[in-house]
DNA sequence: CGATTCTGTGTTACCGCTAACAGTCGAGGG
DNA sequence: CCCTCGACTGTTAGCGGTAACACAGAATCG
């Protein structure tokens, strides 16, 4: 293993200078910096994280509190967080907080705080949990929220542009020729739900359609809620030719309902989701959806937190930071142009879920 | 933060003695050890992992290679591994290896080896991948396999008793009164699949039934394969009154097929799974299943690996070790006694998936 | 133009822990 | 009774970095 000392010798400078180049690089002459970087490159040096955190008394443990998201989401999120944590040389301490009860949530946080966690990452839905945020604030623990719609003043947040993504997806359906598009909303406590719904409405308006008349049902991001909402949409007098569900789980549920009622997807009806979790490709037909860069968001969250921690230690007040990552449309097999005869097949039964 | 020095002072010994007590504790007088432990307890001391690995030049990175398991399985596995890794003060380096191609797999391993990974954990299905095991062997990297049926000589392995678990589940169905039980096998490359199937057969024999006549279909652990297998089972002349799928994904798929065909679960047909992943509770009805302690298995794997690494460093040859963790039957709502009239409802359609 | 402030760099002293070695002390052997 | 040996404990010297300070030489200022 090459050490900082090796690099220093190779570049003809002291170890300290190398350290400066690596870390922030203020007060280093440009020519020196280049020489050091070249040496680092040549020797393929990477700093020893153990030594670094020991010497700097640096953050070594950051917390990740999760609750009950879809397993696919969590797995991807963990992978991203883990990757970033390793690069930064910090340990990830993860804990679950399934309870909805404010007191219990506070209890979990307090336990968390007594452990050596120096900052916390909150993926959804916890990023919107007021009791948790309040408790962390009280304990003075820095937080990065993920996918939260209305960032707190002074807070760190990572998200995608849900509004724009929902607009894109809606435009895509409109471009295919759909005019009667059903929408399944996400959990009302999550701000992103509203953003997605607004995006849907705005795209309709843009196309000269009235969002008020569009068939919309409330969902809660669960597969079960998608079943109910899907049933309702398909029980309407005029069946929509497309359904835009606020996440993949509800889209998959809608596909299941449509199949049960004898619709062919996408011939009779297009169904699209949001998130691009593993579920999207494990149902048939595979879902057209919006890809959230979940792992990248987790990485961004870890990096943001570590930067903030460092800034705090350096005495600088932390400042409001938000990172908006880019999403992508993933066109698969669950979407197509509406049937020529824009009237769908007759509905077989009308049982409600 | 309390340091080893604080503990040493409190116990009236040197730091080194404290270190000895913590690490292996040879050559420490019993009374001394007790005093030290008492001081550790009183001061609530926990060693600084960064300092420890820096000083000892110890293992700091262990690898985790995964491929394409169910997201629910992976999430739980990661959580367990992460927890153990943190306690041990090592970093988890995770990497995916989706390719089935032997050369590509070897390539991933080689890349892995050049990074600073000192040992590797292989959850299924990679734990059964010969090319990967061979490559790791060649590179002299210690491995812990998880849920592998036939452990290598000289290898480290963590698993549950699949055979016993499958027997228990089958006995449970028999006790409910089922006599015509369908079985969906797991991926033939995975030894655990065979163990589960053998368990099923042995329980039937025990009850005086002939396994040869039982309706059995091949599955591959995926939801999709479960759909196909389920269709086949329900297309038989005599429909089984119960289906035992080799994992939850295939059980969930079977439930979906049964519903599509107008069966009520569990009134008309019982369907049970294996693993107790999140999927088991996110479908309706919730699945009766066998709980694999996935997180605990991951923890055990990490601990086993670290112990082995330490033993190797100390010069002792590593010895064969296997850990068999205990499973549990989880009775939920997808199983019940067979219908009184043991003939199921008429089948609506017979489309194959 | 001397005093003061920057810049850019090197020196020193640890961070908390453990390997390696160096005692100390009592037991047992010659 | 001296010597060796083993069990136990302490001392020393880092592991690979970084903070804090020191110190040159250049830039700024009254």
Which residue's CA lies closest to nucleotide D16 at its C1' atom? A51
Q: Judge contact between A224 and A230, C-beta under 8 A.
A: no
Please indicate whether, in this complex, the C-beta atoms of B54 and A61 are within 8 angstroms of each other.
no
Q: Specify the pairing of strand A216-218 against strand A156-160.
A: unpaired
Tens digits of residue pLDDT in B54-82: 888 777 788 999 987 677 788 889 999 99
pTM for the full model?
0.80
Neighbouring-strand partners of residue B157: B145, B322
Grade residue B4 by pLDDT with cuts at 50, 70 and 90. very high
Sequence-distant (6+) residues with CB within 8 A of B21 are B28, B32, B33, B36, B37, B40
Protein residue closest to D14, using CA and C1': B55
Q: How many CB pairs under 8 A join A and B?
A: 93
Model confidence over A162-177: pLDDT tens digits? Answer: 999 999 999 999 999 9
Give the C-alpha separation, B151 to B322, whole Å.
8
Q: Token match 């910090």: residue?
A: A90
Dig out the tokens for B241 from the structure: 């009154």
Q: Is B210 helix (H, G, I), strand (E, B) or coil?
A: coil
Which tokens is B200 given? 């099923």
**In this structure, are residues A291 and A276 in contact, taking their beta carbons and an 8 Å threshold?**
yes
CB atoms within 10 A of CB A278: 19
**If you average pLDDT over residues A121-134, what whole number do you get?**
85
- Asked if strand D contacts B20 at the CB level, meaning under 7 A, the answer is yes
The Cα B198–Cα A126 span in angstroms is: 44
**pLDDT grade for A107, boundaries at 50, 70 and 90:** confident
Which residues of B lie inside 8 Å of A (Cβ-Cβ)? Answer: 1, 48-51, 53-54, 60-61, 70-72, 74-76, 78-79, 82-83, 85-86, 89, 91-94, 96, 116, 222-224, 227, 256, 259-260, 277-279, 282-284, 353
B/e letters for A140-177, b = 16+ CB within 10 Å, e = fewer, are ebbbbbbbbbebeeebbbbbbebbbbbbbbbbbbbebe
Q: Average the pLDDT over B295-323 and give the result.
A: 80
Which of A11-20, A135-144, B305-314, B327-336 shows the lowest per-residue confidence on average (mean pLDDT)? Answer: B305-314
DSSP structure class, residue B315: T
Q: What is the DSSP string of B122-144?
A: E-TTGGG-HHHHHHHHHTT--EE
Higher pLDDT among residues A58 and B157, named by residue = B157
User: Distance (Å) from CA A64 to C1' C17?
Assistant: 28
Task: Reply yes or no on whether the pLDDT at B334 is more than 90.
Answer: yes
Residue B176 has pLDDT above 90, yes or no: yes
For every residue of A2-56, DSSP letters joined together read --HHHHHHHHTS-HHHHHHHHHT--S--HHHHHHHHHHHHHHT----HHHHHHHH
Query: Which two structure tokens, joined as six digits, stand for B277?
Result: 């992943």
Answer yes or no: is pLDDT of A324 > 80.
yes
Give B190 CA → D1 C1' in Å.
72
Q: With 50 as the cut, is the pLDDT of residue B263 above it?
A: yes
Average pLDDT of the segment spanning B223-249:
93
Instruction: Kindly state the tokens that stand for A34.
Output: 């280049």
Q: What is the mean pLDDT of chain B?
A: 86
**Which 265-284 positions of B have CB less than 7 A from strand C?**
none
Residue with tokens 């298995």: B297
Checking if the pLDDT of A346 tops 90, the result is: no
Distance between the alpha carbon (CA) of A3 and the C1' atom of D21, Å: 24
Q: Is the pLDDT of residue B349 over 70?
A: no
Beta bridge partners of A121: A64, A144
Which range has the worst mean pLDDT, A4-13, A148-157, A181-190, A247-256?
A148-157
The model's pLDDT over A276-293, given as tens digits with 9 standing for 90+, comes to: 887 787 777 889 999 999
Cis peptide before A139 (omega within 30 of 0): no
E-only strand ranges, A73-167: 91-96, 120-122, 143-146, 156-160
The pLDDT of residue B317 is 58
Task: Please state the φ and ψ torsions of residue A79, each to the nearest 5 degrees.
Answer: -60, -45
Alpha carbon distance A277, A248 (integer Å): 7
Whether residue A75 and residue B79 make contact (CB cut-off 8 A), yes or no, is: no
B155-182 burial: b if 16+ Cβ within 10 Å, else e:
bbbbbbebbbbbbbbbbbbbebebebbb
| Residue B323 β-bridge partners | B158
What share of chain A has pLDDT > 70, as a percent? 92
Question: In the predicted model, what is the mean pLDDT of residues B235-247?
Answer: 95
Which band of pLDDT confidence, cut at 50, 70 and 90, is reported for residue A150? low
């Amino acid at each position: 293993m090459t050490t900082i000392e090796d690099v220093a010798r190779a570049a003809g400078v002291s170890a300290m200078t190398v350290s400066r180049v690596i870390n922030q690089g203020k007060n280093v002459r440009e020519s020196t910096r280049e020489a050091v970087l070249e040496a680092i490159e040549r020797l393929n040096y990477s700093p020893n994280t153990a030594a670094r955190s020991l010497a700097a008394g640096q953050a070594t443990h950051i917390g990740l509190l999760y609750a009950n998201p879809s397993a696919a989401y969590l797995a991807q999120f963990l992978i991203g967080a883990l990757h970033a944590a390793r690069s930064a040389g910090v340990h990830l301490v993860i804990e679950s907080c399934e309870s909805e009860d404010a007191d219990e949530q506070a209890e979990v946080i307090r336990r968390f705080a007594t452990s050596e966690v120096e900052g916390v990452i909150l993926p959804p839905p916890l990023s919107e949990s007021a009791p948790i945020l309040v408790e962390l604030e009280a304990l003075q623990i820095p937080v990065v929220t993920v996918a939260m719609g209305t960032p707190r003043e002074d807070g760190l947040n990572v998200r995608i542009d849900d509004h724009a993504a929902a607009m894109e997806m809606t435009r895509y359906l409109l471009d295919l020729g759909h005019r009667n598009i059903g929408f399944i909303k996400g959990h009302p406590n999550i701000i992103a739900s509203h953003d997605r719904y607004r995006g849907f409405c705005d795209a309709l308006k843009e196309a000269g359609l009235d969002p008020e008349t569009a068939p919309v049902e409330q969902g809660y991001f669960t597969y079960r809620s998608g079943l109910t909402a899907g049933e309702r949409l398909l029980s309407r007098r005029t069946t929509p030719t497309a359904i835009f569900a606020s996440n993949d789980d509800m889209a998959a549920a809608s596909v299941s309902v449509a199949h049960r009622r004898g619709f062919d997807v996408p011939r009779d009806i297009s169904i699209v989701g949001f998130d691009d979790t593993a579920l999207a490709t494990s149902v048939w037909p595979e879902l057209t959806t919006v890809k959230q860069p979940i792992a990248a968001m987790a990485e961004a969250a870890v990096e943001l937190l570590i930067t903030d921690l460092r800034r705090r230690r350096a005495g600088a007040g932390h400042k409001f930071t938000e990172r908006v990552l880019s999403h992508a449309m993933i066109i698969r097999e669950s979407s197509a142009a509406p049937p020529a005869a824009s009237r769908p097949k007759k509905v077989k039964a009308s049982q409600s879920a």
